[in-house]
Amino acid sequence: MTWIHLSVHSSYTDTPVTPFEVHRLEDHNPSFTATMGSIQGAERYAVVTGANKGIGFEVVRQLACRGIVVVLTARDEKRGREATAKLHHDHHLHANVVFHQLDVLDPLSVQSLANFIHDTFGRLDILVNNAGASGVLVVEEELKALNIDPTSWLSGQAVNTVQGAIKSTYEKAEECLNTNYYGVKRVTEALLPLLKLSTAGARIVNVSSLRSELKRIPSEAIRNELGNVEALTEEKVDAVLRRFLHDFKENSLEANGWTMMLPSYSISKATLNAYTRILAKKYPKMYVNCVHPGFVNTDLNWHTGTMTLQEGAAGPLKLALLPDGGPTGCYFYQTEVADF
């Protein structure tokens, strides 16, 4: 039996990656110098995390096709450069897509990206926080053998059926929370000074999940804590996550009302949604939203999803390109506002 690490809309691997320092892009991309004029003359600049494949890659492609200069980021430098080269070669987007390595777990890597954006563009208009991790190990052959309707699996209805094929560990839980919640905070806070300089009001898009919805948390107390937008603070969210990790370690998740289907992933996305609402209140001139992109054909479901990458990118793209006066502090189910 072979356990594999399951990543969600990200480029994360288990191979250690040396932090990528700020460098002159022309050293690695001879065409960069020739295109700097068009880059500096662009109206909008965007960053998409976890973008070497899947939804993130498609969001980069579609933003770039609209004339926006996009920084494609990935933890794995080789995969990120290959993805960028593909956009350059297949879609002729040399002037609109550049690569920068980003490990959201590493503060030095995050600061390196912020320095690069500052030195190259001077501001940031769009941030799509797409990178993420699932918090579980999966026996792929066993999960496939169960032949479960993937929609039933992801909605939580098949929680007991899949327990033998999906393994949660404390280490993976910590990694998941540090990626999906604290990683987003780390990146967003480092880029906020640049986002504040956006002339039209920055757009921040946090890619969430169906698993984030509060109705999926059994505990009414936890639902109320994360759902009371007037009382929400980052300190309260941190306290919720500390309790979750304590209960995980004590093997008391179910007894204390946490969801048992992808528990770490689910609470990481629920708290990400809460952080979205906190940010929206704190920065009323920005447009800050979170989105469940839909059941998309990606690595997460071994390409059994019913939606294409183009369809899955529709929600994040809508929020990245919101017109002035659009909604903020909202949760979107694909392209429509929904209840948290």
Instruction: Encode 261-276: b = buried (16+ Cβ within 10 Å), e = exposed.
Output: bbbbbbbbbbbbbbbb
For residue 311, what is the enclosing H or E element?
A: helix 309-320
Does residue 240 contact residue 149 with C-beta atoms inside 8 Å? no
Could you confirm whether 170 is annotated as catalytic?
no
From 12, 265, 275, 331, active-site residue: 265
Beta strands in the chain (DSSP E): 4-5, 45-48, 69-74, 97-101, 126-129, 137-138, 166-167, 203-207, 287-292, 331-333, 336-338
CA Rg, the chain, in Å?
19
Beta carbons of 301 and 150 less than 8 angstroms apart: yes
DSSP H or E segment with residue 310: helix 309-320
Q: Which of 293, 267, 290 is nearest to 278 (CA)?
A: 290
Cα gap 223→226, rounded to integer Å:
5
Q: How far is CA 170 from CA 264, 269, 327, in A?
A: 9, 17, 37
Q: Which residues are catalytic?
A: 265
